[in-house]
Amino acid sequence: MKKSIFKLSLLLISFCLAHCGASSSQTNSSEAPTSEASSPYLSKVQTLVIQDQSLLLGGAQAVGSHLVGGDVIVSISDLALQKLNLDGSPQQDFGQAGLALADLGGDGEAISVLLPQEDGKILAGGISSDGSNYDFALSSGNALALARFESNGQLDTSFGKEGGLVFLDIQESVNALALKSDGKLLIATRSLGLLQYDPQSGWDDSFVVEKDALDNIVLCYLLMQEEDQFLAAGYIEDPLGTNGKDFVLLAFHSDGSLRSDFGSGGKVVIDFDSQVDIAHIVKAQSDGSLLIAGQSSPPNPQGGLAKENDFALSKVLADGSVDLSFGKQGKVLTDLGGRFDVVKAIELHEDGVLTALGFYTSSSKSLVAAQYEASGNLLDIYFIEDFALEDIPYF
- Specify the CATH number for the domain of residue 341: 2.120.10
User: In whole angstroms, what is the distance from residue 230 CA to residue 24 CA?
Assistant: 29
Domain's final residue, options 119, 151, 172? 172
* Rounded CA separation 205/219 (Å): 19
pLDDT-above-70 percentage for the chain = 77
pLDDT at 75: 73
Kindly state whether residues 288 and 237 are assigned to the same domain.
Answer: yes
Residues 296 and 265 grouped into a single domain: yes
Q: Which residue has the higher pLDDT, 281 or 174?
A: 281
Residue predicted with more confidence, 249 or 67: 249
Q: Which pLDDT score, from 0 to 100, does residue 274 have?
A: 87
The answer to whether the CB of 395 falls within 8 A of the CB of 88 is: no
State the average pLDDT over residues 211-223. 90
pLDDT at res. 97: 93
**Residue 228, φ and ψ in degrees, nearest 5:** 65, 15
Q: Are residues 185 and 48 in the same domain?
A: no
Per mean pLDDT, which range of 4-18, 66-80, 355-369 is the poorest? Answer: 4-18
Lowest mean per-residue pLDDT among 8-22, 272-286, 334-348, 364-378: 8-22
Query: CA 262, CA 124: separation in Å to the nearest integer?
Result: 30
Q: Tell me the pLDDT tens digit for each residue of 325-358.
A: 999 999 999 999 888 899 999 999 989 999 999 9
Share of the chain above pLDDT 90, in %: 50
Q: Give the pLDDT score at 27.
A: 32
Question: Is the same domain home to 358 and 214?
Answer: yes
pLDDT category at 21 given cuts 50, 70, 90 is low
Mapped onto helix, strand or coil, the DSSP state of residue 213 is helix
Mean pLDDT for all residues in the chain: 82
For the cut 90, the answer to whether the pLDDT of residue 212 exceeds it is no
Instruction: Flag whether pLDDT at 36 surpasses 50.
Output: no
pLDDT score of 34 = 33
Q: How far is CA 98 from CA 1, 62, 199, in A?
A: 34, 16, 27
C-alpha–C-alpha distance, residues 175 and 224, integer Å? 15
Burial classification of residue 302, based on how many CB atoms lie within 10 Å of its CB (0-12 exposed, 13-18 middle, 19 or more buried): exposed
- pLDDT tens digits, one per residue of 98-156: 999 877 666 777 788 899 999 999 999 777 665 544 343 333 345 576 889 999 999 99
CA–CA distances in Å: residue 306 to residues 18, 175, 394: 12, 22, 34
What residue numbers bound the domain in which 393 lies? 1-16+180-395
Q: Could you tell me if 10 and 30 lie in one domain?
A: no
Domain co-membership, 327 together with 345: yes
Euclidean distance between CA atoms 96 and 356, whole angstroms: 30
Q: Is residue 249 scored above 50 in pLDDT?
A: yes
Assign residue 158 a region (left: φ > 0; alpha: ψ between -120 and 50; beta: otherwise).
Answer: alpha
Q: Please determine, for residue 386, whether its predicted confidence score (pLDDT) is greater than 90.
A: no
pLDDT digits (tens, 9 = 90+) for 45-74: 889 999 988 999 998 888 887 676 666 666
Boundary (domain end) residue, out of 152, 172, 192: 172
Confidence of residue 8 (pLDDT cuts 50, 70, 90): very low
Alpha helices in the chain (DSSP H): 211-214
Same domain membership, residue 254 and residue 157: no
123 shares a domain with 154:
yes
pLDDT of 191: 80
Task: Select from 128, 153, 172 the last residue of a domain.
Answer: 172
**pLDDT tens string 282-321:** 999 999 999 999 999 987 666 666 678 999 999 999 999 9
pTM, two decimal places: 0.85
The residue-averaged pLDDT of 154-162 equals: 84
Shared domain check, 232 and 144: no
Give the residue from 19, 291, 345 showing the smallest Cα distance to 175.
Answer: 19
Number of domains making up the chain:
2
pLDDT number for residue 66: 66
Question: Are 243 and 381 members of one domain?
Answer: yes
Q: Which amino acid is residue 86, in one-letter code?
A: L
364 and 395 housed in the same domain? yes
What is the structure's pLDDT at 29? 28
| Cβ within 8 Å of residue 372, ≥6 positions away | 313, 332, 353, 354, 355, 356, 378, 379
- Same structural domain, 44 and 192: no
